[in-house]
Amino acid sequence: MKIVVKFGGSSLASAKQFKKVGDIIRADKNRRYVVPSAPGKRNDKDEKVTDLLYQCYDAASQGKSYKKILEKIRERYEEIINGLNLNLNLDHEFQVIEENFLAGIGRDYAASRGEYLNGILMAAYLGIEFIDAAEVVFFDENGNFLSEETNQELEERLAHTERAVIPGFYGSAKDGSIRTFSRGGSDITGSIVARAIHADLYENWTDVSGFLVADPRIVDDPEVIETITYKELRELSYMGASVLHEDAIFPVRKEGIPIHIRNTNRPQDKGTLIVENTCRKPKHIITGIAGKKGFCSMYIEKAMMNSEVGFGRKVLGVLEDQGISFEHMPSGIDTMTVFIHQTEFMAHEQQVIAGIHRAAAPDYIDLESDLALVAVVGRGMKGSRGTAARVFAALAHARINIKMIDQGSSESNIIVGVRNEDFEDAIRAIYDVFVTTEL
């Protein structure tokens, strides 16, 4: 077997955490390719190394005082080196970093140095090869990831490398400049490496014991999801649930490689297995609940709308002209409602209203603000009678008014709109009826 392991910032924040990671890797000889993040917070009052690097670069490139911040970053790595009793000196690396910061080389370069330095430490600690991600992960001049070029280069490089550390989060453009993924992008690097080596498994180690059925800030001690499909995960991630960077799904999905979310601090926990599909029956009818606040709705009414060809296109064309995307669009015979991010809409609301009047000549337009969307997702919902009824009953019992209902034809998700003020209560009510009462 070949396993790729990625470790998040909290898993590598200190020498103590490094030792836990080392024990995990050595516990299974199949864990052959390691993707580290930059050191994260050691406690609630601490700072992430990536944030310190941004601060340091901004100060240095603007001719301001930066030495204290750079020394703070150096101390973080020295603490790990000393705690692991490594014979390693990073003086040259920090000298190069300082010179490049003063030269204003770019914020992507600055952000990437956290992973780069941690990769060097990890390779030294494990006694395996270090491969600079800039040599094997490629972006175009606009910062777009070059998937196929990267895959080809990684395949060739790793075909002759039994074990290696490849830092996450960054790569390079054709001119040699460093480019990064968005924050959390080390998840993507791990997925890219897994695809390139045709891994049997991609383990993503973090500080939680898997994907939770609901947000623990809303529901007390929610259950861990044991198995979830890529499709379910994408639905929940899009609606705000986050353990894994959502772009990390695509490279491994192409290869059918499962992702296993594990807890560095509790390696005995089962975690969550993310798969293309499965015959395993879910523990509950639903897999998870997630949602977002901050939406508004635009209700449009026109007599005989259903017989007017192109009415919906005209309305959406106005939104497109203003650069606004929509979330959901439930409709009736003579009505349609469009749900939009409120902040995005407010900047252009009068232009949108005027544009719709000119383009589609509606009888009436009404706006409602401060709404939230809640997604109930699960492969077990398909073919299960009464799922929607239970959702609505739970909300009715909690005295929550439903502003919108949308269910995909796949029967794997139900989305309801509620007021922002009812958002948390709605999630708790749905969790109670599908999880708590079934225990």
Percent of the chain predicted with pLDDT > 70:
99
At residue 412 the predicted structure's pLDDT band, cuts being 50, 70 and 90, is confident
Mean pLDDT of 282-301: 92
Mean pLDDT of 275-281: 85
Among candidate residues 275, 303, 324, the one where a domain is terminated: 275
Least confident of 68-72, 180-184, 246-250: 246-250
pLDDT for 439 beyond 70: no
pLDDT for 71 beyond 90: yes
Q: Are residues 265 and 352 in the same domain?
A: no
Q: How high is the pLDDT of residue 189? A: 95
Domain count, the chain: 2
pLDDT for 407 beyond 90: no
Write down the mean pLDDT value for the chain. 93
Q: Residue 417 belongs to what domain range?
A: 288-438
At residue 232 the predicted structure's pLDDT band, cuts being 50, 70 and 90, is confident
**138 forms bridges with which residues in the sheet?**
172
Residue 132 has φ and ψ, to the nearest 5°, of -65, 125
User: With contact defined as beta carbons under 8 Å apart, do 102 and 140 qualify?
Assistant: no
Q: Domain for residue 317, yes or no?
A: yes
d(CA 24, CA 267) in angstroms, rounded, equals: 8
Q: Are residues 197 and 346 in the same domain?
A: no
CA separation (Å) from 356 to 159, 303, 310, 318, 370? 57, 15, 13, 6, 22
Q: Are residues 57 and 109 in the same domain?
A: yes
Burial 71-107 (b: 16+ CB within 10 A, else e): eebbebbeebbeebeeebeeeeebeebbebbeeebbe
Q: Domain for residue 292, yes or no?
A: yes
- Nearest to 204, CA basis, from 143, 155, 258, 156: 258
Least confident of 2-6, 231-235, 340-344: 231-235
Percent of the chain predicted with pLDDT > 90:
80
Q: Are residues 104 and 14 in the same domain?
A: yes
Mean pLDDT of 318-338: 92
At residue 300 the predicted structure's pLDDT band, cuts being 50, 70 and 90, is very high
Q: Domain for residue 280, yes or no?
A: no
Q: How high is the pLDDT of residue 238? A: 76
Cα diameter, the chain: 78
Q: How high is the pLDDT of residue 408? A: 67
Pairing status of strand 227-229 against strand 272-275:
parallel
Q: Are residues 267 and 298 in the same domain?
A: no
Q: Domain for residue 282, yes or no?
A: no
d(CA 358, CA 318) in angstroms, rounded, equals: 10
pLDDT for 34 beyond 90: yes
Mean pLDDT of 308-332: 93
Mean pLDDT of 410-415: 80
Q: Are residues 249 and 319 in the same domain?
A: no
At residue 410 the predicted structure's pLDDT band, cuts being 50, 70 and 90, is low
pLDDT for 146 beyond 90: yes
Mean pLDDT of 26-33: 96
Q: What is the CATH number of the domain that holds 140?
A: 3.40.1160.10
375/280: higher pLDDT = 375
Q: Are residues 126 and 234 in the same domain?
A: yes
pLDDT for 136 beyond 60: yes
Q: How high is the pLDDT of residue 422? A: 96
Q: Domain for residue 281, yes or no?
A: no
Q: Are residues 77 and 51 in the same domain?
A: yes
Q: Are residues 398 and 366 in the same domain?
A: yes
Q: Domain for residue 230, yes or no?
A: yes
pLDDT 10s digits, 208-221 = 899 899 999 999 99
Q: Are residues 268 and 295 in the same domain?
A: no
d(CA 412, CA 351) in angstroms, rounded, equals: 36
Q: Are residues 310 and 429 in the same domain?
A: yes
Mean pLDDT of 106-114: 96
The half-sphere exposure of 53 on its side-chain side, counting CA atoms within 13 A, is: 25
Orientation of helix 311-321 relative to helix 349-360, angle to 10°: 150
- Nearest to 251, CA basis, from 188, 312, 197: 188
d(CA 269, CA 260) in angstroms, rounded, equals: 11
Q: What is the CATH number of the domain that holds 397?
A: 3.30.2130.10
Mean pLDDT of 83-106: 96
Pairing status of strand 170-172 against strand 178-180:
antiparallel
Among candidate residues 240, 275, 310, the one where a domain is terminated: 275
Q: Are residues 370 and 433 in the same domain?
A: yes
At residue 438 the predicted structure's pLDDT band, cuts being 50, 70 and 90, is low
CA separation (Å) from 350 to 14, 205, 317, 319, 344? 53, 47, 15, 12, 12
Q: Domain for residue 127, yes or no?
A: yes
Q: Is 188 helix (H, G, I), strand (E, B) or coil?
A: helix
Among candidate residues 275, 308, 343, the one where a domain is terminated: 275
Q: Domain for residue 134, yes or no?
A: yes
